[in-house]
Amino acid sequence: MDNKTHAIWLHRIIVASLLLAFSVILLGAYTRLSDAGLGCPDWPGCYGQLTAPTTSHEIQTANSAFPDMPVDSSKAKKEMTHRYFAESLGFLIVCLAAFTFVYRKKIQLPLWLPMLLVALVIAQGILGMWTVTLKLLPLVVMGHLIGGFCTLSLLWLCWLLLKFPTMPQYPLPRALSRLAFLCLGVLFFQIALGGWTSANYAALICPDFPLCQGKWLPDMSTRAFNVLGAIGIEEPLAFMDAVEKTTIHVSHRLGALFTFLLCGVLSFKLWQQGRKLPKQSRRLFIGCSHLLAGLLFIQIILGISNVVMHLPLHVAVTHNGIAVLLLLTLITINFILIKSRSARE
């Protein structure tokens, strides 16, 4: 194969991995939000089988093996579907790493990226196992969610490096790059906070908006962020009481407001900067500005809808999906700013 053929195949593997990673995140959210996280009480199989029990004989055998965890076929199917997609993603990432290693002298992709992805996939497998064996320990569930976002982010970075090896150079202000990087960090923290909210089932603790339980500032507790507190407890989800869950929920709301305002400033600054650039780059910068602003607006609407509509499944899953798109957008903006800045202004 010549260099062009190598690049084509590498691009195909990365795109397939991206689509699978996005699907795995949405399926994970769907599984968690539909309360199917323990649809299979064991790992890597399901009730000691390779597939979810569906026939009467399989269900009877499974119930005999796990008398304390009766089979719910619907939940078991959801859990196993998520696992199948995750395993397929892991296989593709291993293929990506092997392909990059074999043809490392002929393709423009740093070897450390796919190798890091392999390590991340292994860690995700371990966290997936612990999610089941530790009975949805919130720290593990949140870590598993963050790992999924990191996997997709690194795959997206691989795609960007292949798609845009070079970019036009401009004397962009360094402050813009710093703001973009800050926004990326804040958004990542907000995603982790959202994961902590979901892992502790705190999304419905405040059924009203903009108030919470009829108050602007309900009772709060710092114990809400004792991430190690539930370790070793027989029922880890019982560690947080109503006050701690309220604290988590309100913190996520405040984090959403701060993220919205900060990223809104970045969107405006990108639009301002884009107007000063040549036509081709102007479209890129202003397009990123509009995309970021649009996703922020949609995400805020979805977040409010989750509260006032009492967490409908399709809205909650979409909320996760838009978080993914926001993360990829900010990664892209940071990538563009780093590749385009030729000198300090």
Cα 242 to Cα 140, 193, 221, distances in angstroms:
21, 17, 10
**What letter represents residue 327's amino acid?**
L
How many other C-beta atoms lie within 10 A of the C-beta of residue 70? 11
CA 164 to chain centre: 24
Measure the CA–CA gap between 86 and 20, rounded to whole angstroms.
Answer: 8
Measure the CA–CA gap between 168 and 68, rounded to whole angstroms.
Answer: 63
87 is known as an active-site residue: no
* From 79, 87, 234, 345, the catalytic residue: 79
- Structure-block tokens of residue 234: 């027989």
Instruction: Pick left, alpha or beta for residue 172 (phi over 0 → left; psi -120 to 50 → alpha; otherwise beta).
Output: beta
Measure the CA–CA gap between 13 and 217, rounded to whole angstroms.
Answer: 49
How buried is residue 88: exposed, middle or buried, by Cβ count under 10 Å (0-12/13-18/19+)? middle
Of 307, 29, 332, the C-alpha closest to 187 is 332
Q: Is the peptide bond before 168 cis (omega within 30 degrees of 0)?
A: no
Beta pairing partners, 212: 215
Q: Which residue has the tokens 């036509």?
A: 279
- For residue 238, the 8-state DSSP code is G
- Expressed in angstroms, the distance from the first to the final Cα of the chain is 44
> What is the four-CA torsion angle of 251, 255, 257, 262, rounded to 10 degrees?
160
Show which residues are catalytic.
79
